[in-house]
Structure formats: C-alpha cells, structure tokens
Homo-oligomer: A and B are copies of this chain.
Amino acid sequence: MVLRIGHRHYRDHRISTHCGLVARVLGASGIIYSGEKDEALLGSIEKITARWGGPFGCRYDPAWKKFVKKWKADGGKVIHLTMYGLRVQDKIEEIKNDSSDLLIIVGGEKVPWDAYELADWNIAVTNQPHSEIAALAIILEKINDSALETVFDGARIRIEPCKKGKKYIGIKMPRKNGDAIL
C-alpha cells in the first residue's frame, strides 16, 4: 500500500497521478491520498483501473497520521521515502526479509516530522534531489521481484508488446445485459 501525503490540488495533480499509476503498475494494492481533496485525481486513477484492470484501491483520507498508526497497530510496517534516509541498497534485504504488510509513504514539498517518526525505515533512493515518482518505482521494483510481471484482472484492454508500432487487444467481457464491452 502507498500513502501519498501533502497533495496540493492543482500544483501536484500530475505528479500525484503518476504516483498512483506507478503504485498500481508495480504491484501495490492501492494508494491513499492525503492533503487537499482532489476528486479528479481519484477519478483518473479509478478510470485507469476500470479500463486496464486491477485490483487496485484508491481513496482520500485527510487523517494520514491516524491511518499510519492504525497500520502499525495492526502489525504493518512503514517505509518513508526521503532523500535524507538510509540508502535503499543497504536496507532492501532487511525490508524484504520482513513479512509484515508494508506501507510506503511518499511525501510532497514539505514533509511533517511525524512521517520520519512514524516510519520503521526512512529510506533514500539516492541521497540526491530527484523525483518521488522515480523513488517509488525503484523501491517497489526492488521489494517485489516480479513487479514488472504484475497481472491485472478485469482489464477491458491490453497491449501486445510490439517491436515497432501499437497493438491493442480488446478483451471481451460479459456485461450485465449479456453484451460484450469493446
């Protein structure tokens, strides 16, 4: 599960959308957005999941600290991605050897101190400024060896890998009235 905190409605729309899509595509079970409520953002992610498959959860929760505390109380562990943290390459084995459910916190411009405090691991994907989207992608792929092979159920469409060009494959699915979508 991924938790994106500090979302700002207009300024962060695309960055937060990318975080959600990356979480989905690399095998996270869902994303929770905190900060400013943004229905269009939730809608973008839900639309992709409806079309390209899931399962992938997506919701807004203004009370992210409460959510993190409950996650931990239920036995889960928490990674906070920060350029100030310990190097991912030094901690990845420890993280992979832990069987707890993982929550990955992805911060925005200004991250409250609580995120550092609540985290079991403050992890840096390089100690350099770059991109929370890239950091999330790299850690998800390192945690889950088969992240790139994630299978999506209920897709209405998929792509056939192709040397040059674009090959879509529509997937016929029964509708409630018995007709096929696509």
Contact = CB atoms under 8 A, between A and B. Distances in A.
Interface string A159-172: 11111111100000
Contacts of A100: none
A160 B122 CA distance: 13
A125 B25 CA distance: 10
Interface string A6-30: 0000000011001001101110000
Contacts of A138: 137-138, 141, 148
Interface of A is mostly: mixed
Contacts of A163: 85-86, 122
Given A14-B15, A137-B137, A148-B88, A126 B25 contact: yes
Given A116-B164, A122-B164, A133 B86 contact: no
Interface residues of A, number: 50
Nearest to A135: B137
Nearest to A84: B166
13 contacts: A14-B14, A15-B18, A18-B133, A22-B130, A25-B128, A52-B128, A84-B159, A87-B148, A88-B148, A122-B164, A124-B159, A127-B160, A133-B133
Interface of A: 14-15, 18, 21-22, 24-26, 48, 52, 83-90, 116-117, 119, 122, 124-131, 133-134, 136-138, 141, 148-150, 152, 158-167
